[in-house]
Amino acid sequence: MGPGRGSSAGSLVAYCLGITNVDPVGYGLLFERFLNPERISMPDMDIDFADDRRDEVIRYVADRYGADRVAHIITFGTMGAKAVIRDVARVMGFRSARRTASRSSCPASRSTSTLDDALEKSPSLAEQVKRDQRVGELGRWRAPSRGAPGTPSVHASAVVISDEPLMERVPLYKDPKRPELITGFAMGPIEKLGLLKMDFLGLRTLTVIADAARLVRESKGIALDPEELPLDDAKAYQMLAEARTFGVFQLESAGMRDALKSLKPTRIQDIIAMVALYRPGPMELIPEFVNRKHGRAPSRTSTRSWSAISRRRTGS
CA distances from 160 to 34, 116, 182, 203, 263 (A): 19, 39, 9, 20, 41
pLDDT digits over 7-16, tens only? 888 999 999 9
Confidence of residue 25 (pLDDT cuts 50, 70, 90): very high
The residues near 75 (Cβ < 8 Å, ≥ 6 apart) are 152, 153, 154, 155, 186, 187
The answer to whether 3 and 21 have CB atoms below 8 angstroms apart is yes
Instruction: Write down the pTM of the prediction.
Output: 0.68
Average pLDDT over the chain, rounded to an integer: 81
CA distances from 184 to 157, 169, 176 (A): 16, 11, 14
CB atoms within 10 A of CB 69: 20
- What is the C-alpha separation between 198 and 19, in angstroms, rounded? 13
Q: Which range has the worst mean pLDDT, 237-246, 261-270, 304-313?
A: 304-313
Residue 287, pLDDT > 60, answer yes
Q: Quick check: helix, strand or coil at residue 50?
A: strand
Structural domains of the chain ordered from first start: 6-74+155-206 (3.30.1900.20), 80-140 (1.10.10.1600), 230-314 (no CATH)
Write down how long the chain is.
316
The residues near 47 (Cβ < 8 Å, ≥ 6 apart) are 1, 2, 4, 19, 198, 199, 200, 201
Residue 303, pLDDT > 70, answer no
pLDDT digits over 31-75, tens only? 988 888 887 767 777 889 999 999 999 999 999 999 999 999 998
pLDDT digits over 153-210, tens only? 888 888 999 999 999 999 998 888 878 889 999 988 998 888 888 888 898 889 999 9
pLDDT of residue 314: 46
Confidence of residue 147 (pLDDT cuts 50, 70, 90): low
The answer to whether 182 and 173 have CB atoms below 8 angstroms apart is yes
pLDDT digits over 80-136, tens only? 666 666 677 677 676 643 454 455 555 555 444 555 666 666 676 666 666 666 665
pLDDT of residue 96: 47
pLDDT of residue 139: 55
